[in-house]
Amino acid sequence: MSLHRIVCAFIAAAILLACTAAGAAAVKLPDPATDEPAANVKGERTAVLAGGCFWGVEAVFEHVRGVKGVWSGYSGGTSSTAQYEMVGTGRTGHAESVQIVYDPSQITYGQLLKIFFSVAHDPTELNRQGPDEGTQYRSAIFFANEEQRRVAQAYVDQLNGAKVFKHKIVTEIAPLKGFYRAEDYHQDFVAHNPTHPYVAYNDLPKISSLRKQFPEIFINK
Protein backbone atom coordinates (compact mmCIF):
# COMPACT_ATOMS: atom_id res chain seq x y z
CA MET A 1 0.00 0.00 0.00
CA SER A 2 1.34 3.44 -0.92
CA LEU A 3 2.20 6.01 1.72
CA HIS A 4 -0.58 8.26 0.41
CA ARG A 5 -3.19 5.54 0.88
CA ILE A 6 -1.88 4.73 4.35
CA VAL A 7 -2.19 8.39 5.36
CA CYS A 8 -5.70 8.64 3.89
CA ALA A 9 -6.78 5.46 5.68
CA PHE A 10 -5.39 6.79 8.97
CA ILE A 11 -7.23 10.09 8.54
CA ALA A 12 -10.48 8.33 7.69
CA ALA A 13 -10.18 6.10 10.77
CA ALA A 14 -9.43 9.12 12.95
CA ILE A 15 -12.45 10.98 11.62
CA LEU A 16 -14.73 8.00 12.23
CA LEU A 17 -13.43 7.53 15.77
CA ALA A 18 -13.74 11.22 16.57
CA CYS A 19 -17.24 11.50 15.18
CA THR A 20 -18.39 8.48 17.14
CA ALA A 21 -16.90 9.75 20.40
CA ALA A 22 -18.12 13.31 20.03
CA GLY A 23 -21.56 12.26 18.90
CA ALA A 24 -21.97 10.24 22.07
CA ALA A 25 -20.77 13.16 24.22
CA ALA A 26 -23.14 15.76 22.75
CA VAL A 27 -25.88 16.86 25.12
CA LYS A 28 -29.59 17.03 24.30
CA LEU A 29 -31.06 20.20 25.75
CA PRO A 30 -34.57 21.58 26.29
CA ASP A 31 -35.79 24.53 24.25
CA PRO A 32 -35.25 27.92 25.86
CA ALA A 33 -38.21 28.88 28.03
CA THR A 34 -37.39 32.53 27.31
CA ASP A 35 -36.64 33.59 23.76
CA GLU A 36 -36.94 36.50 21.37
CA PRO A 37 -40.27 36.56 19.53
CA ALA A 38 -40.23 34.96 16.10
CA ALA A 39 -40.26 37.61 13.38
CA ASN A 40 -42.89 37.50 10.66
CA VAL A 41 -40.84 39.56 8.22
CA LYS A 42 -37.49 38.45 6.91
CA GLY A 43 -34.57 40.50 8.09
CA GLU A 44 -31.14 40.11 9.60
CA ARG A 45 -29.96 40.00 13.19
CA THR A 46 -26.53 39.27 14.61
CA ALA A 47 -25.22 37.07 17.41
CA VAL A 48 -21.63 36.89 18.68
CA LEU A 49 -20.55 33.74 20.52
CA ALA A 50 -17.24 32.32 21.75
CA GLY A 51 -16.66 28.64 22.36
CA GLY A 52 -13.02 27.72 21.97
CA CYS A 53 -11.24 27.63 18.62
CA PHE A 54 -13.42 29.57 16.21
CA TRP A 55 -12.89 27.08 13.34
CA GLY A 56 -15.33 24.51 14.68
CA VAL A 57 -17.92 26.93 16.05
CA GLU A 58 -18.02 28.73 12.70
CA ALA A 59 -18.37 25.41 10.86
CA VAL A 60 -21.33 24.33 13.00
CA PHE A 61 -23.38 27.46 12.36
CA GLU A 62 -22.61 27.43 8.65
CA HIS A 63 -24.79 24.30 8.50
CA VAL A 64 -27.78 25.85 10.29
CA ARG A 65 -30.89 26.78 8.31
CA GLY A 66 -31.69 30.46 8.71
CA VAL A 67 -28.06 31.48 9.18
CA LYS A 68 -27.01 33.86 6.41
CA GLY A 69 -23.33 34.18 7.22
CA VAL A 70 -20.72 33.29 9.83
CA TRP A 71 -17.30 34.85 10.37
CA SER A 72 -14.44 34.00 12.71
CA GLY A 73 -12.96 36.83 14.71
CA TYR A 74 -12.17 38.32 18.08
CA SER A 75 -14.30 39.95 20.80
CA GLY A 76 -13.61 41.22 24.29
CA GLY A 77 -10.56 43.35 23.60
CA THR A 78 -9.62 46.36 21.52
CA SER A 79 -9.11 46.76 17.79
CA SER A 80 -5.38 47.30 18.26
CA THR A 81 -4.89 43.77 19.65
CA ALA A 82 -7.28 41.91 17.34
CA GLN A 83 -4.52 39.89 15.70
CA TYR A 84 -4.11 36.13 15.90
CA GLU A 85 -0.58 36.14 17.31
CA MET A 86 -1.45 38.71 19.97
CA VAL A 87 -4.75 37.07 20.93
CA GLY A 88 -2.88 33.78 21.31
CA THR A 89 -0.92 35.21 24.26
CA GLY A 90 -4.11 35.26 26.33
CA ARG A 91 -3.38 38.81 27.48
CA THR A 92 -5.55 40.89 25.14
CA GLY A 93 -8.97 40.28 26.69
CA HIS A 94 -10.16 38.85 23.38
CA ALA A 95 -11.83 35.50 22.94
CA GLU A 96 -11.85 33.66 19.64
CA SER A 97 -15.44 34.33 18.57
CA VAL A 98 -17.87 33.96 15.72
CA GLN A 99 -20.29 36.50 14.34
CA ILE A 100 -23.54 34.92 13.14
CA VAL A 101 -25.93 36.79 10.87
CA TYR A 102 -29.33 35.08 10.90
CA ASP A 103 -32.89 35.44 9.67
CA PRO A 104 -35.17 35.64 12.76
CA SER A 105 -38.13 34.42 10.72
CA GLN A 106 -36.34 31.07 10.34
CA ILE A 107 -34.41 30.70 13.59
CA THR A 108 -34.41 32.55 16.90
CA TYR A 109 -31.60 33.74 19.13
CA GLY A 110 -32.57 31.17 21.74
CA GLN A 111 -32.39 28.36 19.19
CA LEU A 112 -28.90 29.49 18.23
CA LEU A 113 -27.93 29.30 21.90
CA LYS A 114 -29.37 25.80 22.15
CA ILE A 115 -27.05 24.70 19.33
CA PHE A 116 -24.16 26.61 20.90
CA PHE A 117 -24.55 24.86 24.25
CA SER A 118 -25.35 21.38 22.95
CA VAL A 119 -23.02 20.67 20.02
CA ALA A 120 -20.75 23.67 19.31
CA HIS A 121 -18.74 23.50 22.55
CA ASP A 122 -18.71 22.46 26.22
CA PRO A 123 -19.99 25.38 28.32
CA THR A 124 -18.73 23.85 31.56
CA GLU A 125 -15.03 24.13 30.69
CA LEU A 126 -13.38 27.23 32.14
CA ASN A 127 -10.92 29.07 29.90
CA ARG A 128 -10.38 26.09 27.64
CA GLN A 129 -11.99 23.81 25.06
CA GLY A 130 -10.56 20.38 24.41
CA PRO A 131 -6.81 20.71 23.75
CA ASP A 132 -6.86 24.53 23.74
CA GLU A 133 -6.21 26.43 26.96
CA GLY A 134 -6.28 30.12 27.83
CA THR A 135 -8.76 32.94 28.29
CA GLN A 136 -8.84 33.38 24.52
CA TYR A 137 -10.67 30.02 24.37
CA ARG A 138 -13.26 30.87 27.02
CA SER A 139 -16.97 30.27 26.61
CA ALA A 140 -18.77 33.59 26.16
CA ILE A 141 -21.94 35.19 24.87
CA PHE A 142 -21.44 38.80 23.80
CA PHE A 143 -24.89 40.39 23.86
CA ALA A 144 -25.71 43.32 21.59
CA ASN A 145 -28.83 44.49 23.44
CA GLU A 146 -30.94 43.91 26.53
CA GLU A 147 -33.11 41.30 24.83
CA GLN A 148 -30.10 39.13 24.00
CA ARG A 149 -28.78 39.50 27.53
CA ARG A 150 -32.14 38.50 28.98
CA VAL A 151 -32.51 35.43 26.73
CA ALA A 152 -28.93 34.30 27.36
CA GLN A 153 -29.09 34.66 31.15
CA ALA A 154 -32.47 32.98 31.34
CA TYR A 155 -31.25 30.00 29.33
CA VAL A 156 -28.10 29.58 31.41
CA ASP A 157 -30.23 29.70 34.58
CA GLN A 158 -32.70 27.23 33.06
CA LEU A 159 -29.97 24.71 32.12
CA ASN A 160 -28.17 25.05 35.45
CA GLY A 161 -31.45 24.61 37.29
CA ALA A 162 -32.30 21.49 35.30
CA LYS A 163 -28.77 20.13 35.90
CA VAL A 164 -28.48 18.93 32.31
CA PHE A 165 -24.69 19.11 32.60
CA LYS A 166 -22.59 17.36 35.23
CA HIS A 167 -20.95 20.67 36.09
CA LYS A 168 -22.15 24.27 36.27
CA ILE A 169 -22.11 26.37 33.12
CA VAL A 170 -19.23 28.87 33.21
CA THR A 171 -20.16 30.82 30.08
CA GLU A 172 -19.43 34.53 30.41
CA ILE A 173 -22.32 36.83 29.45
CA ALA A 174 -20.83 40.19 28.52
CA PRO A 175 -21.78 43.28 26.50
CA LEU A 176 -20.53 43.31 22.92
CA LYS A 177 -18.01 46.13 22.57
CA GLY A 178 -16.83 45.11 19.14
CA PHE A 179 -16.26 42.21 16.79
CA TYR A 180 -13.12 42.14 14.69
CA ARG A 181 -12.88 39.66 11.84
CA ALA A 182 -9.93 37.30 11.93
CA GLU A 183 -7.37 36.93 9.18
CA ASP A 184 -8.63 35.59 5.84
CA TYR A 185 -6.98 32.18 6.25
CA HIS A 186 -9.15 31.51 9.32
CA GLN A 187 -12.43 32.04 7.47
CA ASP A 188 -14.18 28.81 6.39
CA PHE A 189 -11.14 26.91 7.67
CA VAL A 190 -12.98 23.63 8.21
CA ALA A 191 -14.56 23.68 4.76
CA HIS A 192 -11.17 24.35 3.16
CA ASN A 193 -9.21 21.89 5.32
CA PRO A 194 -11.44 18.87 6.10
CA THR A 195 -8.48 16.48 6.45
CA HIS A 196 -6.49 18.71 8.80
CA PRO A 197 -5.83 16.53 11.90
CA TYR A 198 -7.17 19.16 14.32
CA VAL A 199 -10.31 19.59 12.21
CA ALA A 200 -10.84 15.85 11.84
CA TYR A 201 -10.64 15.20 15.56
CA ASN A 202 -12.20 18.33 17.06
CA ASP A 203 -14.47 19.96 14.51
CA LEU A 204 -16.02 17.43 12.13
CA PRO A 205 -17.63 15.58 15.07
CA LYS A 206 -19.49 18.78 15.97
CA ILE A 207 -21.03 18.91 12.50
CA SER A 208 -21.94 15.24 12.80
CA SER A 209 -23.66 15.93 16.14
CA LEU A 210 -25.53 18.87 14.65
CA ARG A 211 -26.83 16.68 11.84
CA LYS A 212 -27.92 14.01 14.31
CA GLN A 213 -29.55 16.24 16.92
CA PHE A 214 -31.02 18.92 14.65
CA PRO A 215 -31.92 17.21 11.35
CA GLU A 216 -34.80 19.64 10.75
CA ILE A 217 -32.47 22.66 10.53
CA PHE A 218 -29.29 21.00 9.24
CA ILE A 219 -28.23 21.98 5.74
CA ASN A 220 -25.44 20.47 3.65
CA LYS A 221 -22.91 22.84 2.19
Kindly list the catalytic residues. Answer: 53
Helix/strand/coil for 96: strand
CB atoms closer than 10 angstroms to residue 13: 11
β-pair type (45-51, 95-102): antiparallel
Q: How far apart are CA 216 and CA 198, in angstroms?
A: 28
Q: Is the dihedral of CA 171, 54, 128, 94 positive or negative?
A: negative
CA distances from 38 to 70, 167, 215 (A): 21, 31, 20
Q: Are 138 and 53 in contact (CB under 8 A)?
A: no
First to last CA, the chain: 32
Instruction: Specify the amino acid at residue 101.
Output: V
Helix/strand/coil for 48: strand
CB atoms closer than 10 angstroms to residue 171: 26
